[in-house]
């Protein structure tokens, strides 16, 4: 695939989605907490923007970690994805630029926690996000949705809005716990809400190849998701955990480090696959 600088149009044409001039929507999801969803959503988004693609990072986690991790100050945010999902605000009204050219973010604040409850009684409660994003898909090449650690309505909204899913799995004991429930919910979403959605890939995160345990976990995940595990594994590095507190993606914070190299490779693999 060609990522030559100065050829963004060519890069855009090469994107994987069915060539209809609309963004491909990727939801980064796993109901397990702390597995690297936000780190993956932020860094793959930033990497694709650095390659000249127009990228929107949508934060649907009330924790707002993607929002702050990419450098926004939550205190400055008056309207967020809560207003889009619950108050029918236009997503373009809440979108903010970031320090990375080509990367925009649709932020989340704690207000969004209310949506998880309010959605229960709402009309088209699983399709709010899909409908809200429809109007801006022509403006981007890629949309990444950072999901909360639950299988609640915000995650169902993300899965319903997505073309493909990326599932981060931490290379640790109990890594497979909860995957049955996750695949069951993905099956239900395919049956009832979004028949075309599929897993683009499973990414092993916080990987330490020096331990037998990590190697065993990779083998088990490969058995569970045959053919779906990305060849790129994200190493455990302190730099990746430090970057969000500086509001920077790893490509800016530590461009020569292992984390930046890994997320660049993952972005490339995802483009080739999705």
32 binds Mg ion (CB under 5 A): no
Nearer to Mg ion, 14 or 150 (CB): 150
Q: Is 244 in the site for ligand ATP (CB under 6 A)?
A: yes
Verify binding: residue 149, ligand ATP, rule CB under 6 A.
yes
**What backbone torsions phi and psi does residue 113 show, to the nearest 5 degrees?**
-55, -35
Report the distance separating Cα 253 and Cα 9, nearest Å: 27
* Part in contact with ligand ATP (CB under 6 A); list of ranges 29-37, 77-85, 96-104, 189-197: 29-37
Start-to-end CA span in the chain (Å): 13
CB nearer to ligand ATP: pick between 136 and 229: 229
Size of the site for ligand ATP (CB under 6 A): 19
Q: Does 237 bind ligand ATP (CB under 6 A)?
A: yes
Q: Toward ligand ATP, which CB reaches closer, 102 or 249?
A: 249
Site for ligand ATP in 175-234 (CB under 6 A): 205-206, 234
Tokens 């939550």 label which residue?
74
Q: Which does 34 bind (CB under 5 to 8 A by kind): Mg ion, ligand ATP, none?
A: ligand ATP
Examine residue 43 and tell whether it contacts ligand ATP (CB under 6 A). Answer: no
From the CB of 82, what's the least distance to Mg ion, in Å? 17
- 251 vs 248: CA distance, rounded Å: 8
Residue 94 lies near ligand ATP (rule: CB under 6 A): no
Question: Is residue 62 involved in binding ligand ATP (CB under 6 A)?
Answer: no
CB of 198 to ligand ATP, least distance (A): 21
Q: Taking CB under 6 A as the rule, does residue 58 contact ligand ATP?
A: no
Q: How far apart are CA 240 and CA 253, in angstroms?
A: 9
Residue from 24, 32, 37, 104 touching Mg ion (CB under 5 A): that is 37
Asked if 166 contacts 28 with a C-beta cutoff of 8 angstroms, the reply is: yes
Contact 162, 194 (CB under 8 A): yes
CB 167 within 8 A of CB 182: yes
Q: Which is nearer to ligand ATP, 139 or 242 (CB)?
A: 242
Which of 40, 65, 67, 155 forms a contact with Mg ion (CB under 5 A)?
A: 65
Figure out which of the listed residues 34, 178, 247, 257 binds ligand ATP, where binding follows CB under 6 A: 34
Using CB under 6 A, pick the residue from 47, 59, 61, 126 that binds ligand ATP.
61
Which is nearer to ligand ATP, 223 or 246 (by Cβ)? 246
Name the residues that contact Mg ion, by CB under 5 A. 37-38, 65
């Amino acid at each position: 695939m060609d990522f030559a600088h100065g050829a963004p149009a060519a890069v855009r044409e090469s994107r994987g989605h069915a060539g209809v001039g609309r963004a491909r929507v990727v939801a980064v999801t796993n109901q397990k907490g702390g597995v690297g969803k936000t780190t993956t959503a932020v860094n793959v988004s930033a990497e694709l923007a650095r390659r000249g693609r127009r990228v929107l990072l949508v934060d649907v986690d009330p924790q707002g970690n993607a929002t702050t991790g990419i450098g926004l100050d939550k205190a400055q945010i008056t309207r967020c994805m809560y207003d889009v999902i619950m108050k029918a605000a236009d997503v373009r009204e809440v979108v903010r630029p970031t320090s990375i050219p080509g990367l925009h973010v649709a932020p989340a604040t704690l207000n969004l926690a209310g949506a998880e409850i309010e959605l229960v009684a709402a009309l088209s409660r699983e399709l709010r996000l899909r409908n809200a994003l429809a109007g801006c898909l022509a403006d981007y090449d890629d949309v990444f949705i950072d999901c909360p650690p639950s299988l609640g309505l915000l995650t169902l909204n993300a899965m319903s809005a997505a073309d493909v899913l990326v599932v981060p799995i931490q290379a640790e004991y109990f890594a497979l716990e909860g995957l049955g429930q996750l695949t069951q919910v993905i099956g239900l979403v395919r049956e009832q809400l979004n028949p075309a959605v599929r897993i683009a890939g499973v990414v092993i995160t916080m990987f330490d190849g020096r331990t037998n345990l990590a190697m065993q976990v990779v083998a088990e995940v490969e058995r569970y998701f045959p053919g779906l595990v990305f060849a790129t594994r994200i190493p455990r590095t302190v730099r990746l955990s430090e970057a969000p507190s500086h509001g920077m993606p790893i490509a800016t914070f530590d461009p020569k480090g292992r984390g930046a190299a890994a997320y660049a490779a993952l972005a490339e693999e995802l483009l080739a696959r999705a």
